[in-house]
């Protein structure tokens, strides 16, 4: 490591250039061999494939650049829809998914706007790391339909945030809260599971590049130059750059209403009996 002021300035300039590089979709393939992380005990892809296997229609909330749907194209329902709220990703998703017959509609999960789909029009709704309204999910699901979501916990990478002097960006995003909202909306919970594990970066170059996709993990006023000391401290430490990831899984379904009876429920009455002991 070059400890001179010139070497330090060069490091900061390099990190600043990395920070300014544009992102495209949610493709993290550039970090293979540079970022090392464990996986949660569930397989989100296989869970979604299973639900899509018996579905006639599906909806992917916050599809990003369409990477996930492309990876499971052989399991998609005949009728598939997707939403995306970030304009750069929206253009990428439409470019990739339109040839597959998937219409990508602009919708921001944080906006509070209703989903642009009719009532009871979808068999399966999925959401990986996208904000959603449980009441809207219930509205668009057909009776008996399923909702599968994997969410980043609000305390994800909170040890990294603490290094830069801030707390978690979304502390209210917890499994307990989203489970309660789902139940209040009328969904039946089938599976609810939390997980946390380590994520390691091979250096500050990789960390800065990685955080371009998730700047909310950093202070709102973050710039490389403004937080150069914090970055240099990480660069100088001998321990690996290791932090804690947290996420959770929620799988639920909309119940099928019990049809009303044509006749009133019979009032069974006991038939009086005479004791043989009298």
Q: What is the pTM of this model?
A: 0.87
Least confident of 18-27, 115-124, 248-257: 18-27
Name the more confident of 59 and 217. 59
pLDDT at 274: 55
Give 15-253's CATH code, choosing from 3.90.700.10, 3.20.20.70, 1.10.3720.10, 3.40.50.150. Answer: 3.40.50.150
pLDDT value of position 127: 98
Element (H, E) at 240: none
Rg (CA), the chain: 25
Q: Which residues contact 68 (CB under 8 A, 6 or more apart)?
A: 45, 60, 128
pLDDT for 103: 97
Dihedral angle of Cα 213, 216, 218, 222, to the nearest 10 degrees = 80
| Of residues 257 and 115, more confidently modeled | 115
Selection from 159, 172, 160, 152 nearest residue 247 by Cα: 152
Mean pLDDT, the chain, rounded, equals 92
CA torsion 202-204-208-211 (nearest 10°) is: 50
Under a CB-based contact definition with an 8 Å cutoff, are residues 63 and 87 in contact? no
Residue 271 has pLDDT above 60, yes or no: no
Tens of pLDDT, residues 51-60: 999 999 999 9
Per residue in 55-98, pLDDT (tens digit) is: 999 999 999 999 999 999 999 999 999 999 989 899 999 999 99
pLDDT per residue as tens digits for the range 165-189: 999 989 999 999 999 999 999 999 9
pLDDT-above-70 percentage for the chain: 91
pLDDT at 278: 43
User: Kind and range of the H or E element at 7?
Assistant: helix 5-20
Do the Cβ atoms of 195 and 40 come closer than 8 Å?
yes
């Amino acid at each position: 490591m070059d400890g001179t002021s010139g070497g330090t300035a060069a490091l900061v300039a390099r990190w600043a250039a990395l920070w300014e590089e544009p992102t495209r979709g949610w493709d993290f393939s550039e970090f293979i061999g540079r970022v090392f992380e464990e996986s949660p005990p569930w397989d989100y892809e296989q869970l979604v494939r299973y639900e899509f296997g018996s579905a006639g229609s599906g909806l992917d909330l916050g599809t990003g650049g369409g990477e996930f749907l492309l990876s499971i194209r052989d399991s998609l329902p005949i009728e598939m829809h997707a939403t995306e709220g970030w304009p750069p990703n929206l253009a990428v998703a439409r470019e990739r998914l339109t040839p597959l017959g998937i219409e990508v509609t602009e919708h921001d999960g944080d906006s509070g706007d209703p989903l642009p789909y009719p009532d009871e029009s979808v068999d399966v709704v999925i959401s990986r790391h996208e904000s959603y309204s449980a009441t809207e999910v219930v509205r668009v699901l057909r009776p008996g339909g399923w909702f599968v979501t994997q969410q980043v916990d609000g305390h994800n990478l909170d040890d990294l945030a603490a290094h830069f002097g801030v707390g978690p960006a979304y502390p209210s995003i917890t499994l307990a809260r989203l489970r309660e909202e789902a139940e209040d909306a009328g969904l039946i919970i089938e599976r609810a599971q939390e997980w946390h594990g380590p994520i390691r970066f091979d250096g500050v170059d990789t960390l800065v590049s990685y955080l371009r996709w998730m700047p909310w993990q950093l202070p709102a006023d973050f710039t490389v130059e403004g937080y150069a000391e914090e970055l240099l401290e990480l660069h100088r430490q001998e321990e690996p750059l290791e932090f804690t990831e947290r996420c959770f899984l929620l799988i639920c379904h909309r119940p099928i209403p019990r049809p009303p009876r044509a006749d009133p429920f019979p009032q069974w009455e006991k038939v009086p009996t005479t004791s043989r002991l009298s």
